[in-house]
A = this chain, B = another copy of it.
Amino acid sequence: MDKLHKNSPDQQNEKGDLYIIKIGGNVIDNSENLHNFLKDFTALKGNKILVHGGGKVATQLSETLGIEPKMVEGRRITDIETLRVVTMVYGGLINKNVVAQLQKFGTNAIGLTGADGNFIRTKKRPVKTIDYGFVGDIDETSIDNTNIKRLMDGGFTPVFCAITHDGDGQLLNTNADTIASALAVSLAKLYNTTLIYCFEKSGVLKDINDEDSLITDIGPQYYEELKKQQIINSGMLPKLDNAFTAITCGVKAVIIGHANNLGLLNENKKFGTRLSKNA
Could you say which of B64, B87, B100, B155 contacts A96, with CB atoms under 8 Å apart?
B87
Residues in A170-186 with C-beta less than 8 Å from chain B: 170-171
Q: Chain A interface residue count: which class?
A: 35 or more
Is B91 a contact of A87 with CB atoms below 8 Å? no
For residue A28, CB closer than 8 A to chain B, the reply is no
Q: Which of A95, A110, A165 has the most CB of B within 10 A?
A: A110
Give the residues in chain B near A64, CB-CB below 8 Å.
Answer: 65
Could you say which of B90, B100, B112, B154 contacts A151, with CB atoms under 8 Å apart?
B154
For residue A117, CB closer than 8 A to chain B, the reply is yes
Contact digits for A89-100, partner B, Cβ 8 Å, 1 yes 0 no: 111110111011
Is A147 a contact of B151 with CB atoms below 8 Å? no
For residue A153, CB closer than 8 A to chain B, the reply is yes
Give the residues in chain B near A97, CB-CB below 8 Å.
Answer: 87, 171
Is B147 a contact of A103 with CB atoms below 8 Å? no
Give the residues in chain B near A92, CB-CB below 8 Å.
Answer: 87-93, 95-96
For residue A47, CB closer than 8 A to chain B, the reply is no
For residue A156, CB closer than 8 A to chain B, the reply is yes
Give the residues in chain B near A113, CB-CB below 8 Å.
Answer: 96, 99-100, 111
Number of copies: 2
For residue A168, CB closer than 8 A to chain B, the reply is yes
Once bound together, how far apart are the Cα atoms of A100 and B165, in whole Å? 7
Once bound together, how far apart are the Cα atoms of A65 and B64, in whole Å? 7
Give the residues in chain B near A155, CB-CB below 8 Å.
Answer: 147, 150
For residue A69, CB closer than 8 A to chain B, the reply is no
Residues in A54-103 with C-beta less than 8 Å from chain B: 64-65, 84, 87-93, 95-97, 99-101, 103
Residues in A160-208 with C-beta less than 8 Å from chain B: 163, 165, 167-171
For residue A109, CB closer than 8 A to chain B, the reply is yes
Q: Which residue of B lies closest to A171 (CB)?
A: B100
Once bound together, how far apart are the Cα atoms of A21 and B263, in whole Å? 43
Is B169 a contact of A101 with CB atoms below 8 Å? yes
Q: Which residue of B lies closest to A92 (CB)?
A: B92
Is A93 a contact of B88 with CB atoms below 8 Å? yes
Once bound together, how far apart are the Cα atoms of A64 and B92, in whole Å? 18
Closest chain B CB from A169 CB (angstroms): 4
For residue A118, CB closer than 8 A to chain B, the reply is yes
For residue A115, CB closer than 8 A to chain B, the reply is yes
Is A93 a contact of B84 with CB atoms below 8 Å? yes
Question: A91-B91, A92-B93 known; 10 other A-B pairs, CB under 8 Å?
Answer: A88-B93, A91-B92, A99-B113, A101-B169, A104-B168, A108-B118, A111-B113, A111-B115, A151-B154, A154-B154
